[in-house]
Chain A
């Protein structure tokens, strides 16, 4: 049996013929691309390539790197532990004011980080809304500690994880969960053996995005956790300080951070980005 040959037309991805595009649009588009590329080039041409190993080996840089890794990984862990349940609530529960709830969840994505840090200070600071009780009952004080840096980084990174995972949960629907239930799987078994494996690509993507965001966090960290070497001084803070006394070091650290960010994006595009 032979079937007629079909021409595949995919309107979503097929670029329109260039002739239909006004030339000015093309030109402005390339100018914008150049604008995005310019800082990268600027950084690369100022890079002290030969001195790179020694600069990155300096004790302050290594210390900032250590703080950055601890803070960003802990914040990513917090995003997974807190963000996964939140994504489920948003995707599967009927909420009272869904638009407002979703706006609250996404707020840290658009909020100026300094504002986020200030808000955290008034919520979790020593005389803050919750902070005073933390201090009084548990003797815990978050501002100007590594834990405070983790809170600040988790706050700004959380929406990236939640939004990615929620979208995947919505796309997956609850059909497979129902099938699992008819096969004798309870709620936890369904979660572990069906739901989470089904959205694994989105879990990986959300984790990577949240980690990249936490690693680059500057404003909220500085405002809420301060700038103490070995405790709260992360790589972005070190970069900012180095700009004053040792620009070459600032460029070197910036290169490292940019390379990490690029690596995350490239990996995501190839494997995990939901279409």
Chain B
């Protein structure tokens, strides 16, 4: 089963043009800078925005085809959506927000509430909050309720717009795990967060100024990101490790010094251009330095992307000139260094 998108969505002043995009099952991350049409893509799939022309199919059935006069409204599409601003119903208790979709599908009140309770437990909403109204909850708890509410009617496609933007760090890991095991066949994850991509996404769609500029598996898109923004975004290194104070030990045993304190299981992220390469052991203020094995160098214009192995798998961006000066070639053992302030710790 796939979602097939081939068409154009007009907004005031600009348009999203998507050419023959097939979204396979599993988690697909939709990435791109602000205002490139990520949310519009999701809204069109959900049926909240109409195609101006073209065709949109879900599981082989046309749901939007203005040429043929076909438009299946949002409530008949089995496409769920977690909105960036949550959009919980203020007049309903938390439990009835989650039961809402089940009730519309014909479940009786008691049955819908039983299922809602099971979902609220799964997403980790504090039982004390179940009978409250959404306004009484924190942003993170509201986001969990929004996820539970969208999952309740068991949609075929789940669109999640910036899922972790408002979640406090303690809740990110569990919410991420929940999205990873989502029962929806397709999850369209609209995101700005490299950790989401690294941990959840199997496939990627890159949007730039209203058009798809790259698509495919994470490896394919990373090799050919299609625009500068995505190159930087996908160049971001995401390294899992365990934090204690201002030190994070990676799975390969490398201890990285970070600027902010953390504890437990974390991800350390840093952009590829933050990594500096040296032939000899570096002196200076960089707290983190290690010996790495150079695996591959990809030249892209004036930029060279260097893939490093060793205690930690890292991508480093250097200029083509310094790549030549350092005489970088596969098999070489070189020093890599990172300033602690370049590292972001994500729980």
Which A residues contact B (CB, under 8 angstroms)?
A: 175-176, 178-186, 189-190, 193-194, 197-198, 200
Residues of B with C-beta under 8 A to A181: 47-48, 73-75
Whether the pair A182, B85 counts as a contact (CB closer than 8 A) is no
Question: In the complex, which residue of chain B has the Cβ closest to the Cβ of A185?
Answer: B104
B101 on the interface (CB 8 Å rule)? yes
Which B residues contact A (CB, under 8 angstroms)?
A: 46-48, 73-76, 78-81, 83, 85, 87-92, 100-101, 103-105, 149-150, 152-153
Whether the pair B87, A183 counts as a contact (CB closer than 8 A) is no
Whether the pair A179, B81 counts as a contact (CB closer than 8 A) is yes
Question: Can you list 6 A-B contacts (CB < 8 A)?
Answer: A175-B87, A176-B87, A183-B101, A184-B75, A184-B105, A193-B100
Residues of B with C-beta under 8 A to A182: 46-48, 74-75, 79-81, 150
Whole-angstrom CA separation of A184 from B102 in the bound complex: 9
Residues of A with C-beta under 8 A to B105: 184
Question: In the complex, which residue of chain B has the Cβ closest to the Cβ of A197?
Answer: B91
Question: In the complex, which residue of chain B has the Cβ closest to the Cβ of A189?
Answer: B104
Contact partner of A183 among B47, B90, B153, CB < 8 A? B153
Whole-angstrom CA separation of A183 from B112 in the bound complex: 13
Residues of B with C-beta under 8 A to A193: 100, 103-104
Question: In the complex, which residue of chain B has the Cβ closest to the Cβ of A193?
Answer: B100
Question: In the complex, which residue of chain B has the Cβ closest to the Cβ of A186?
Answer: B75
Residues of A with C-beta under 8 A to B90: 198
Residues of B with C-beta under 8 A to A176: 87, 89
Question: In the complex, which residue of chain A has the Cβ closest to the Cβ of B100?
Answer: A183
| Supplied contacts A181-B73, A183-B104, A185-B75, 13 more A-B pairs, CB within 8 Å | A176-B87, A181-B48, A181-B74, A182-B81, A183-B75, A183-B150, A183-B152, A184-B78, A184-B101, A193-B103, A197-B91, A197-B92, A200-B91
Whole-angstrom CA separation of A63 from B295 in the bound complex: 99
Whole-angstrom CA separation of A160 from B89 in the bound complex: 27
Most buried by B among A176, A178, A194, A200: A178
Contact partner of A178 among B87, B89, B103, CB < 8 A? B87
Whole-angstrom CA separation of A262 from B101 in the bound complex: 43
